[in-house]
Amino acid sequence: MAAEASRTSEARRDAVFGRWVVFSPARSRRPTDLKSHAPANPSPGAAGAAAGAPKPSCPFCQGRESECAPEIFRVPAPPDASPWRIRVIENLYPALRRDAEPPAPEEAGEGEATPGERAVVGFGFHDVVIETPRHDVRLWDLDAAGVGDVVLAYARRVRQLMEHPAVKYVQVFKNHGASAGASMAHSHSQMLGTPFVPPSVTTRLNCMKEVFERLGKCSLCEFQSKDILVSETHNFSAIVPFAASYPFEIWIIPRQHSSYFHEIDKDMALDLGSLLRTMLAKLSKQLNDPPFNFMIHSAPFGVSSSCLPYTHWFLQIVPQLSLIGGFEIGSGCYINPVFPEDAAKILRELDC
């Protein structure tokens, strides 16, 4: 690609997280050569097990339900199929405890925060979404309706957690691959409900507020160039962000301004399921099934109405292709060897 050969280093500031990113194509081979070399994710098919058969050590498989933490709800399967399609359960090893005493509002950082170090009881909710009863099926192996049902399960559980007066934010996320933090190979995702608004969420909202006050528009309601567009549907756009912190990072953004992910309806969930499935399939094909994380960034519960014009939820997909080094940790800036326009072109032209 001639454009790749002529690229020189460039620094860009992100308008959502407020991060500076250094694009340095000299630090990488051609973008099309960038592949994951992480160990393959184990599956029963690789070991010769029958398709869909439970893996001996996997409690997420159908028939092993009694080995899991308590079930919160399930999405039933059609008659004559498996007993369930999706299960939402408590995490057996939670980072936060639902049975702990919630901290007082002032302890959790509301109002006038007390300066200096402090500690509060680790109250919160930590749940697991088992996306399929089959061990050999990845999320993007499901059809669009199947992925859409997973999205609706996320939203349903977020709405339930919103009813708890001490929960201020819910982070929905998926880790795929051991090096991306997945401790189980069976396809699943997680959510954490916290009694505080995490600092990165506050930073994101403050950055988007600054852009809104300066330009009079939401940071995500329009993007600067069609060159970063990968694909779009009636309701969503998939882009490689202008200042992507990671190579081949993708954001899926509602085309109409929307602050809260949990307000998604069935039609939008089906649309998101279709686009998410396609984006994950493209990344898997182009990058050799890389470990990845995806996160849903939404507005905290109960933000004032004045905040809604600049809060816009989106889903971020981050392939894990390189390690974070000392510069990134020390400075908060990132080095990305692939320009967003080049990554978007590669993914746009990839048939999946």
Which is nearest to 296 in space by CA: 267, 325, 268, 317? Answer: 317
38 Rama class: left (phi>0) / alpha (psi -120 to 50) / beta:
beta
Task: Count Cα atoms within 13 angstroms, Cβ side, for 207.
Answer: 17
188 catalytic per annotation: yes
Q: What is the 3-state secondary structure (H, E, C) of the chain?
A: CHHHHHCCCEEEECCCCCCEEEECHHHCCCHHHCCCCCCCCCCCCCCCCCCCCCCCCCCCCCCCHHHCCCEEEEECCCCCCCCCCEEEEECCCCCCECCCCCCCCCCCCCCCCCCCCCCCCCECEEEEEECCCCCCCCHHHCCHHHHHHHHHHHHHHHHHHHCCCCCCEEEEEEEECHHHCCCCCCCEEEEEEECCCCHHHHHHHHHHHHHHHHHCCCCCCCCCCHHHEEEECCCEEEECCCCCCCCCCEEEEECCCCCCHHHCCHHHHHHHHHHHHHHHHHHHHHHCCCCEEEEEECCCCCCCHHHHHHCCCEEEEEECCCCCCHHHHHHCCEEECCCHHHHHHHHHHCCC
What are the binding residues? 58, 61, 135, 186
Please identify which of the residues 188, 262, 297, 312 carries the catalytic annotation: 188
Catalytic residues: 188
